[in-house]
Chains A and B, each alone.
Chain A
Amino acid sequence: MLRVADLNAWYGHSHILQGVGLEVGRGEIVTLIGRNGAGKTTTLKSIMGLVGRRTGSVQFDGAEILAEPAHRRFHRGLAYVPEERRIVPGLTVEENLRLGIIAAGNRAREAAMIERIAETFPRLKQRLKQDAITMSGGEQQMLAIARALMAEPKMILLDEPSEGIMPILVDEMFEQFRRMRDAGTTILLVEQNVELALALSSRVYVMDQGVVVHHGTAAAMLADSELRDRYCSV
């Protein structure tokens, strides 16, 4: 589904990604971990086309998309939920959801999808008419994920979805990820909550200083606490 090879990215003059390679198969959940500043967020942003200067190769669903602008990648079925939620203040929950499907240009599908998403995320259903910014952090994160699902993407990139969220909601969120995967959505997950993420994933990549330093099955990493500590202690 996604194949990244020799990906380099720059912010101004700083060379952040220095030849990242990773692959995510169709229907798979893959976790990307590493210390703060390792380049995980930049990797996701580059895959989505949000980093100004980038070289290498990003293939999605068989097509090379490195040079494409972000909005075109969305239309290929690639969704992205950035860190810090980023739901739009001043818009209701329903308007935030509508925003996720407007680009698809299908008004009839809009109502049906809002209904469907509201069933999947009961917390949002009760709050459709509420200003989204008045919700708790966890609920806002649910909304950000729900919004990304509105257009039924093939693959979703999630950047630290559990950050700063109550544990009970984190469990609920990971349950959602499991259901998304079972429904056929491919997921690339950047997560600090390593054990929870590994339990859900099939494979894992570890990044450090802008390169991938380790990859393997999630089960192997889950079993090897020494390996985990080496790469993930902050």
Chain B
Amino acid sequence: MMAFPPELLAMQLVTGLALGAVYVLLAIGLSLIFGMLTVVNFAHGAFFMVGAYMGVFLYGLTGNFLVSLVVVPLAVGGIGLVVERFLVRPLYGRGIDYPLLLTFGLSYVFIEVVRILFGLNGLPFSPPEMLQGAVDIGIGYFPLYRLFLIAATAVVVLALWLFIERTAFGLVIRAGARDPEIVRVLGIDVSKIWLVVFGIGTGIAGLSGVLAAPLQGVAPEMGVPILAEAFVVTVVGGMGSLVGAVIAGLLVGVVVAMTSLFAPEMAKVSIFALMALVLLVRPRGLMGRAGLMG
């Protein structure tokens, strides 16, 4: 197993980053929602799946992938707003298990609805023509769509970072994650902030669904395994930490890609081995901070 040429390793590294990009997008949404609302959103994978289906459907309708990329996050985020306002909100203050059970059940509702509308079997989907093919990235030819995926993720992460670090709303989000009561006595209606954060998090999940669809096609259950992996990413990165979600997402992607090169049968297990390892050394995750769960 020692004889892999460096080009192949480098190529696998980039493949890992592309894989990690989807993890990053899912994990920042999960992390944002958990950090702010202390809600473990078990419907996150279902929002991802709904986004993927919407993206495929809209692409079939318009023939323009860009339309899917713009409309789907807004539509899925809109569903997220309704879910927070009418289903999650009544459960605040009752402990972490209530919204967890609610979103867990909700994910099955979403899956059933999609099965009814689009059938039990998945639909194939390939990258739009403009993004097909491969380009030379210096170490060999790499699928153009995966490069696009990495770039799109970078744009989303950067935009979210600017929003949180540079805007007044972002300042309230950062403060509210640490001390909601202080934000409240300073005149801010925290429930509105929570609503928007849930909408943003689920909107990004929807977008990641659109972005992932060309890699694997769509299927009603596509959100289930990736949700488990995204949870591992948030745990490795530290629950509630956005920087942690980005680093851990890429790390997990690369670890999976490398393991599938050296020991393909271990690829799925490697994620959990990585989690166990990180938690042994840093129980709160790479960038986790104290007291968030308290």
Contacts and interface: CB of A to CB of B under 8 A. Distances in A.
A74 B185 contact: yes
B48 to A, nearest CB: 29
B185 A70 contact: yes
A71 B172 contact: no
Interface centre among B181, B182, B187 (most CB of A within 10 A): B187
Contacts of A48: 185
B186 A100 contact: yes
B168 interface: yes
B182 A88 contact: yes
A151 interface: yes
A26 to B, nearest CB: 21
A1 interface: no
Contacts of B186: 71, 74, 99-100, 102-103, 147-148, 151
Nearest to A74: B187
- Interface residues on chain A, size class: 20 to 34
A79 B185 CA distance: 7
A89 B181 CA distance: 14
Contacts of B188: 71, 102-103
Contact of A86 (B171, B174, B179, B187): B179
Nearest to A105: B168
B174 A88 contact: yes
Interface in B152-178: 168, 171-172, 174-175, 178
A104 B187 CA distance: 8
For the residues of B in contact with A, the DSSP-based class is: helix
A100 B168 CA distance: 11
Interface in A70-84: 70-71, 74-75, 79-80, 82
A210 B187 CA distance: 28
A151 B190 CA distance: 18
B183 interface: yes
A78 to B, nearest CB: 9
Contacts of B183: 99
Contacts of A95: 171, 174-175
Interface centre among B174, B178, B181, B182 (most CB of A within 10 A): B182
Contact of B187 (A89, A98, A151): A151
A100 B187 CA distance: 8
Contact of B181 (A50, A74, A91): A50
Nearest to B168: A102
B175 A91 contact: yes
Given A50-B185, A70-B184, A88-B179, A98 B190 contact: no
A162 B142 CA distance: 64
A216 interface: no
A88 B185 contact: no
B7 interface: no
A88 B179 CA distance: 7
A69 interface: yes
A91 B189 contact: no
A90 interface: yes
Interface string A83-123: 00010111100010011101110010000000000000000
A156 to B, nearest CB: 11
Given A71-B188, A90-B174, 4 more contacts: A71-B185, A86-B179, A88-B175, A103-B188
14 contacts: A69-B189, A70-B181, A75-B187, A79-B185, A88-B175, A88-B182, A90-B178, A95-B171, A98-B168, A99-B172, A102-B168, A102-B186, A103-B186, A103-B188
